[in-house]
Each structure stands twice: as structure tokens, then as C-alpha cells.
Structure 1
Amino acid sequence: MQTSLANQHASRLEALTHVSQQVSPLLVELTEGAHVIEPNSTSRQEVQSLYQYWKQHYPEAGAVYWQTRTWTMLVWQPITIALVTTYYAEHVPPISTMKQAVNLDNGVVGQFDFAEHNWQLGDQHQRLAIAAKELKLLIADLARQLSDVCRMSPATQEKLLADTVMEMLLRGLNHMVSVSLLTKEQLHPTFAHELQHWQQALELPLTRFGRLDVSIDGEYFVQRRACCMHYRRADGDYCQGCPQNK
């Protein structure tokens, strides 16, 4: 039984990583020997090392940048997997048990696996509800681990979380347009409809979310609620949609 479950898990994980790499090449299966951040464990050293990477490489940017970069690195991958499994899979993995690798040579979090193998089947609405519930559990644990390393207000964490949901949802919809699964005209109403479901399922206040805007060349982008603080780096600049760039 355990062997069968493990084989099923391996097969589903392989299929998930195959689809996920269309969103980001970093979304691959966890490799042996990686530095791992995982929930319900003592990953403090790995989170501390992640924070120290950004502190040591960009001292001029200050603590607000180091903590922001650390938090967004911790959450981007599980958010993306929650979206991918909702829209492109039949089963939702146990996201609350997600293990993530951190590359201490470049400060990037990528690669993943799950400590448990109980994937849940459902239609799209059910998958969204399951994924959001699992994601909330993991985010709460990651916030706890971050609090052992640095201080970041829950409001800022939620704004960055909401920004990431919006940006990864937009990236996914842009991909659907590129492969003719969605028309450009359908993108905005589809984005608004799906984002409302995620906002409610994740129980985030509407005030945490930015908005979808259009650039001068007609491309959609997210007008963010929280700044990623990239402009504070010596080599940095304001990002498109930056709330600081008035």
C-alpha cells in the first residue's frame, strides 16, 4: 500500500512539475542534498541563511529589503503551485507539507516536494478551495519561521502575498492567451472573476489587493499594493506597478 501510494505520488509530482515549468523553470522536483525549508520543523537555519544572503549581498538596501525579499522567496513557489493545481491538474497535493529548496549561492528558492502523499481529487471549484486551505496553513507556518529571523508586520506579509497571487495568476492567464486557450479580451474579466474567488478563499481583506492596469503598449500588469523594495539596491530601479513610483 505504501509503495503504491509512493509511486502514485511520484507520478503526480512528475506531471505537476512538467506543467509548472511552463510558468517557471525553477518549479522542479526537489533534488537530494538540497538545503530544505519545510513546515513543522526547525528550518530556522535555512531561513536565516536566506535572509543573510540578501543582507550580505545588498547591505545598502536595508532591513526592509532583506525581509521583503526573504518573504517573497518563501511564498512565491507555493502560491504558484496552488494556482497550477487548481487550473491545470485533477488532484491537489498536500501543499501544507511543502518542502522547498533554497540555493544559498544565489538566494533563490526553487524546487519542491511534499512530505505527505495524500493528493485530493476535485473539480476546479473544489480544487481551489482545497488549495487555498492548504496554502493558508503553509503560509502561517512560513510566517512563524520568518518571525524567528526578522520582524515583518502581518499586513505587509498579506499585501505581498496578495501581490504575488495577482502576478502569478496574470502570468498563467497570459500563458493561456499565448496558446489560444483564452482570448486577450477575456483576460481581464477572467482575472477579476478568479481573483475574487482567491481573495475569499484565502480570507484576505480586499484592501490588501492592488489592481490590474494596462501599459502604454497595451499589456496588462499588476499595480501592486506593497513595494518589493528593489529600488533600494544600488543596481535597483522602480518596477512596473510599483506603489512607491508616484
Structure 2
Amino acid sequence: MGLSTLHFEKLFLHARQITPYLDGCLEETTTFNEPPPSLSPESIERLYNEIAERNPEAGQPYWLTRTWDLLCWQPVFVSFVAIYAQRALPDVSTISQNKQNCFIAGFSFRDHEWTHARRATLIKKAGQQLSHLFETYRDAINQWGRIRPGFTHHLLADHLLNCLVRLQEIRPSYSNNTILRHAQLWLEAFDLPQKHISNLKIDSTTNKLKLVRTSCCLVYKCEGRSLCANCPRLEANKLTNLITAKEVTA
């Protein structure tokens, strides 16, 4: 077993500890077989249609938002796990994802060498690789629909900041200032505006960071569902006792 294989085995273990849905494996390879295809425009369209059929009352904006969130959640989480648990990074642009009915869960890689570097360097590299991957997803959707870059950028910024809040929950030793510095690095890596950092608030109860999203996932439009805890539409998130973290550390 090579060193890269050991890195992948550790990655899969750490990922499953976050959620069983992050179930990774290495693809079996020979000199004769081809790598499995990434999510095709047809498979992404099927995912979108399945979501629409399950939640017809929610409407097209929800169907598209849900589709995009599902496409991106695993690659981002895998990048965070690799960088913060192993201080290294596989080529996340080569990730293969498993489409299930109305969901995407499970992923795989072909064995390859990892990049070892400082976390700031790895974050920049992850941004480059994931930007390329997400652009292929956006191009795929544009073959049968329409998805604007501005729309996906808001969702991505929220996803990155939410992962950092989760990171602080898992590693309480990470101070608010540390998380804010890393938020700057992640936003820079994707060429996203630094203004998104203002969505990180100090929770007056816990004194830890809390995210109030820029975008709404629109799940409340589904029958029987309500607003998420970090939704910008939620009245509690509009109260002034949630102080902007950037203001506190200025």
C-alpha cells in the first residue's frame, strides 16, 4: 500500500465521522479500464427533475438551488477534511460522485499523489481545483437550463463559511480570529467578495461564530418544512444582538 493510498484511507475515515453520507472509496484501476464518468449533464438534469417531482409545490428556484447545493457539498467537505485533518490535498477536481434518487452521496477517487504544503497554499489550490469542477457543473446545467454565476457564488460563499463554523464546533481550540482569517483565505481562493465575512456573527450566548446566510435555500417552500436556523429570513437572525464578528475584531 503506497503513501497516497494511506492518505485516502484516512480521508475516508475522517469523512465518515462527519456524516455517513460522506462515504468514500478508491476506484479499482487497471491499464484497461476507463475512469468512471463524472456527473453528466443528463444525470444532473435527472437529479433536478427528481427534486421537482418530489416537491412540485416548491417551484423552480428551489429545485435549482437544491440541485446546486447537492452537486457541491461533497467536494467542499472533502477539501476541508483533507486540509484540516491531514494538512494535505488530493486533486479534488477529479472526484467522482454517486447520484442517488433526489440526492448525491458517496464519492470516489483514483489513487494519485497528494499535495503537501501550508494550509494557506492548500486552500488556494483547493479553490482552483473546485472552481474548475464547479464550472463543469454549471456548463452542464446550462445545456438544459440556466444558472447564473452570481447565484452560484452566493451559495458557494455560504457553504464555505458554514464549513468553517462547523470546523470551530469540531475544534473549539480554533478561536474566532483564526476562523475569520481562514474565511478570508477561502473567499480569496474562489475570488469571492470579502464582504461575505460580515455574515459571520458572534453569538452572544456562546461567544462563538454563527453564520447568517446570504442566500436562502428555499426549503421552507416544501410542504411541511420551515426556515433553517441560519436563514436570513428568520426574524431571530435580524436582531441586533448578533454582532458582526468583523466589527468585534477590528
Equivalent of residue 9 in structure 2, options 2, 9, 14: 14
Q: Give 1:133 shift.
A: 1.6
Tell me if the contact between 2:219 and 2:226 (Cα under 8 Å) persists in the aligned partners. Answer: yes
Q: How does 1:1-246 map to 2 (within 5 A)?
A: 7-30=2-25, 38=38, 43-104=40-101, 107-115=102-110, 117-177=112-172, 182=173, 186=175, 188-207=176-195, 211-215=199-203, 217-218=205-206, 220-246=209-235
Q: Give 1:150 shift.
A: 2.6
Counterpart secondary structure, 2:64: helix
Tell me if the contact between 1:31 and 1:111 (Cα under 8 Å) persists in the aligned partners. Answer: no
Once the two structures are overlaid, the 10-residue window that deviates more, 188-197 or 199-208, is 199-208
2-structure distance, mates of 1:208, 1:124 = 21
Q: Give 1:8 shift.
A: 4.3
2-structure distance, mates of 1:115, 1:46 = 21
Distance verdict in 2 for CA 1:209–1:125, change over 3 Å: closer
Unaligned runs of 5+ in 1: none
Distance verdict in 2 for CA 1:210–1:159, change over 3 Å: farther
The total of aligned residue pairs comes to 226
Distance verdict in 2 for CA 1:30–1:226, change over 3 Å: same
Counterpart secondary structure, 2:96: strand
Counterpart residue identity of residue 223, structure 2: A
Tell me if the contact between 1:97 and 1:116 (Cα under 8 Å) persists in the aligned partners. Answer: no
Identity %: 26
Once the two structures are overlaid, the 10-residue window that deviates more, 202-211 or 235-244, is 202-211
Once the two structures are overlaid, the 10-residue window that deviates more, 157-166 or 217-226, is 217-226
Deviation digits for residues 68-117 of structure 1 (CA, Å, limit 9, x no counterpart):
0000000011111111222111431111111111111xx22121122462
Once the two structures are overlaid, the 10-residue window that deviates more, 110-119 or 75-84, is 110-119
Deviation digits for residues 1-34 of structure 1 (CA, Å, limit 9, x no counterpart):
xxx7xx54433221101112232221112598xx
Q: Give 1:123 shift.
A: 2.4
Tell me if the contact between 2:8 and 2:26 (Cα under 8 Å) persists in the aligned partners. Answer: no
2-structure distance, mates of 1:23, 1:138 = 23
Counterpart residue identity of residue 168, structure 1: C
Counterpart residue identity of residue 218, structure 2: M
Unaligned runs of 5+ in 2: 28-35, 236-250
Q: Give 1:152 shift.
A: 2.1
- Normalising by the residue count of structure 2, what TM-score does the alignment of the two structures yield? 0.81
Tell me if the contact between 1:23 and 1:171 (Cα under 8 Å) persists in the aligned partners. Answer: no
Counterpart secondary structure, 2:217: coil
Tell me how large the CA RMSD over aligned residues is: 2.3
